[in-house]
Amino acid sequence: MNAPPRFRDVIGSHDIALIVLDTLRYDVAAAELAAGRTPHLAALAPDGRWERRHTPGSFTFPAHQAFFAGFLPTPAEPAPYERLFAAAFPGSAEAHVGPGTWTFEQATVVEALTARGYRTVCLGGVGFFNGRTALGSVLPALFGEHHWSERTGVTDPACLDHQLDVLDRVVTDPDPRPRFVYVNVPAIHQPNHFYLDDIASTPDTRPPDTLASHAAALRYVDSRIPRLRDLLTTGPRPVFTIVCSDHGTAYGDDGFDGHRLAHDCVWTVPYLHTVLDPRTGETT
């Protein structure tokens, strides 16, 4: 398998997809993959495993503000690395900006891709992507189009299926522009206890969320990766695809619950990037 191309070399020639598996913990992601229970995500990873990274934010809003400005999760081990993209900023020369980094004058990669002729599409997601309040509109308003409904939110056990139904309509629109598709997958975010039961069960009567239901939610997401992949690759262009989490969450770890707090289970996240080729269906 070849190494993905430099990000600065794909602008205009490739579609771009950023898939955030909101709230997914690294330890759960790695364990499920190692056990063979997330085969479709494993197939996306260039070396068959998640990279262990640190997120710049402990909850959705700051993590995405950073992501869109070019501060994606960073390697969890001390090592040189190069950012994929970066908003121009004094000191950027020292901020892991290298020859492969795409730098731009806009404040976010969404606005920068819009300026380069991309169709930018946001599929939410958790509350910060619902567009229902001023705060919930900050992130989706960056995009040329954004989609959210209760059926694509955190409380619907089939949320990703409904998001993919929307994506199906997006990609069948004969728009010639290259695409930047951002998907905020809310399934793993609490509540997730219904994934241990039938997908149509009533959330109100179920036991609390646990690490086991977090993992079950991830397996639900994995089962939908083939459809996501097929929809992303319907266009004529290869798709530079980033899959990561924005933060983890605690289930009683050292007494902590939830996220928006500094704990290893919150700031350590899984990450991969690859290129999906529409001609062969292969990663490159």
Q: Which residues lie near Zn ion (CB under 5 A)?
A: 22, 60, 246
Nearer to Zn ion, 41 or 275 (CB): 41
Nearer to Zn ion, 106 or 137 (CB): 137
Query: How far apart are the C-alpha atoms of 31 and 187, rounded to whole Å?
Result: 18
Nearer to Zn ion, 58 or 233 (CB): 58
Nearer to Zn ion, 15 or 246 (CB): 246
The residues, ordered by sequence, that sit 6+ positions from 90 with a Cβ below 8 Å of its Cβ are: none
Nearer to Zn ion, 200 or 262 (CB): 262
- 24: closest CA among 248, 201, 267? 248
Minimum CB–partner distance for residue 220 and Zn ion (Å): 17
Cis peptide before 191 (omega within 30 of 0): yes
Spell out the SS3 assignment of 88-129: CCCCHHHCCCCCCCEEECCCCHHHHHHHCCCEEEEECCCHHH
| Residue closest to Zn ion when measured from CB atoms | 60
Minimum CB–partner distance for residue 79 and Zn ion (Å): 26
Nearer to Zn ion, 256 or 277 (CB): 256
Nearer to Zn ion, 60 or 114 (CB): 60
Minimum CB–partner distance for residue 279 and Zn ion (Å): 34
Minimum CB–partner distance for residue 185 and Zn ion (Å): 10
What CA–CA distances, in Å, run from 160 to 122, 209, 234? 14, 19, 18
The residues, ordered by sequence, that sit 6+ positions from 35 with a Cβ below 8 Å of its Cβ are: none
SS3 assignment, position 268? strand
Minimum CB–partner distance for residue 246 and Zn ion (Å): 4
Minimum CB–partner distance for residue 107 and Zn ion (Å): 21
Query: How far apart are the C-alpha atoms of 84 and 14, rounded to whole Å?
Result: 14
CB atoms within 10 A of CB 281: 11
Query: How far apart are the C-alpha atoms of 145 and 129, rounded to whole Å?
Result: 12
Minimum CB–partner distance for residue 211 and Zn ion (Å): 17
